[in-house]
Amino acid sequence: MSVKKIPLQFKTDIPPAGETEVVNPFDGSVIATLETAGEKHINELLETAKELYDDRAGWLTVQKRVEILERTASIISEREDDLIKQAAGEGGKPYNDSKVEIYRASDSAKIAAETIRTEAGNVIPMGGDLYSANRAAFTQKEPIGVVVAVSAFNHPLNLIVHQVGAAVAAGCPVIVKPAVETPLSCVSFKDILVEAGLPPEWCQVVITDSNDTAQALVTDERTAFFSFIGSSRVGWSLRSKLAPGTRCALEHGGVAPALVYPDADMERAAVLLAKGGFYHAGQVCVSTQRIYVQKKEGRRFVSLLQKEAQSLKVGDPALKSTQVGPLIRPSEVERVHKWVTQAVKEGAELVCGGKPVLDTCYEPTVLLNPSDKSLVSTEEIFGPVVCIYEVDDMEDAVARANGLDVAFQSSVFTSDIDTALATAKKLNASGVMVNDHTAFRIDGMPFAGLKKSGLGTGGIPHTIKDMSVEKMVVLRSDGI
């Protein structure tokens, strides 16, 4: 298999800083080599973007942006097979799950187009008092400025559409740094945007494995909006270094608690929570990590979840039969195994799993009653590990879920609507899924981390709003 060689993804006379390899996380084969950017490129990148923004007469019209995004959605659908194979190859997400991601990426572009087609400014009532007589007022949406987006590996195309597609929809020049493990989907998306009619300088892709280069890009005063998807440690650190006036949105992770009430359909809950916990080998910011169940139902639920976990096929993400693929790199397999082993030493019962597979994958693992001090309880695992905690009553479950320093999406399983609504109100979470797993998401819905899990609200319409300025225009005329 030939190795792709990809040059710098922006115009420059400055030589590349170096090269990086894209490696298939399942078999370790090299897929591509890409030239990387360095700090010496930063000024050029930002100046190009800033000049585009400052030339207000040259802004992309709403009509042009709609046309670009609608055509982009069509091209993604037309190239579905190639994009699926690429996403599975560089990111390790199983074929069928990658297929869903490519569908969602196309849908995300459609949502972006529809959002700017239908959402405009507002009319501000005037004339109702002495001070506003003889005036009419309205607001209109304008781009906020240069957007810098830093993305994650786990959804290599759709996350890029959420960040870059939203910036295009808002009319902002955008500089995007994809995860160094999965840059190919981002490069493909840039190519699709250009084919759909976007002038290439409006989206500059920066491939770099240098933290200093990324930080210099993010913290420059020319960056008007910073969009980050990744670890809370990196996100909060970068936020503290932003230039005055730079706005930001941070999307980190959580531990996605699920509460299974005694009256729930236990079999159905086990099926869905296995999906929520082991989808993409648990490498999702809202993967189900904690499940609370009352002690009297504990053993029954444990056996049901064990059955589901052990039925999953682990292996090559290129195969349609695979349900759990590799972790993004072997060091992550080692980390997850270390955490699981330590949790068992600290008192957790290993229900199933607990071993690496082929050095690049990890068995779907269920732990029962790990210590609250174990890393599997205190940190986001980001691996195929689900922890079950037996509680005396469900009020205790709510208290334990709310006692965490991260908060994102959660789940409630019950057959009683009053219980579902009451628990949803009690839970400190930005989203509560009733009788569904924690990882459910569609691309137009609000998606937000609370506490240490993030800042701002994701979802295409919400991101476009964040990347826009609502400018008010007041007209004074004696004829009004």
| Residue closest to 197 by CA, chosen among 256, 254, 113 | 113
Distance in angstroms (rounded) separating the CA atoms of residues 6 and 22: 11
Name beta bridge partners: 362: 356
Residue 191 CB partners (closer than 8 Å, separation 6+):
none
Single-letter amino acid, residue 464: I
Secondary structure in 3-state letters for the chain: CCCEEECCECCCCCCCCEEEEEECCCCCCEEEEEEECCHHHHHHHHHHHHHHHHCHHHCCCHHHHHHHHHHHHHHHHHCHHHHHHHHHHHHCCCHHHHHHHHHHHHHHHHHHHHHHHHCCCCEECCCCCHHHCCEEEEEEEEECCCEEEECCCCCCCHHHHHHHHHHHHHCCCEEEECCCCCCHHHHHHHHHHHHCCCCHHHEEECCCCCHHHHHHHHHCCCCCEEEEECCHHHHHHHHCCCCCCCEEEEECCCCCEEEECCCCCHHHHHHHHHHHHHHHHHCCCCCCCEEEEEHHHHHHHHHHHHHHHHHCCECCCCCCCCCECCCCCHHHHHHHHHHHHHHHHCCCEEEECCCEECCCEECCEEEECCCCCCHHHHCCCCCCEEEEEEECCHHHHHHHHHCCCEECEEEEECCCHHHHHHHHHHCCCCEEEECCCCCCCCCCCCECCEECCEECCECHHHHHHHCEEEEEEEEECCCC
Distance in angstroms (rounded) separating the CA atoms of residues 270 and 148: 40
The catalytic position among 285, 308, 332, 363 is 285
The catalytic position among 90, 101, 181, 251 is 251
Give whole-number Cα distances, 231 to 185, 234, 453, in Å: 20, 6, 9
- φ, ψ at 136 (rounded to 5°): -130, 145
Distance in angstroms (rounded) separating the CA atoms of residues 458 and 162: 8
251 is catalytic: yes
Distance in angstroms (rounded) separating the CA atoms of residues 299 and 297: 6
Token pair, residue 103, equals: 């569908």
Are 168 and 198 in contact, with CB atoms under 8 Å apart? yes
Which residues does the annotation mark as catalytic? 251, 285
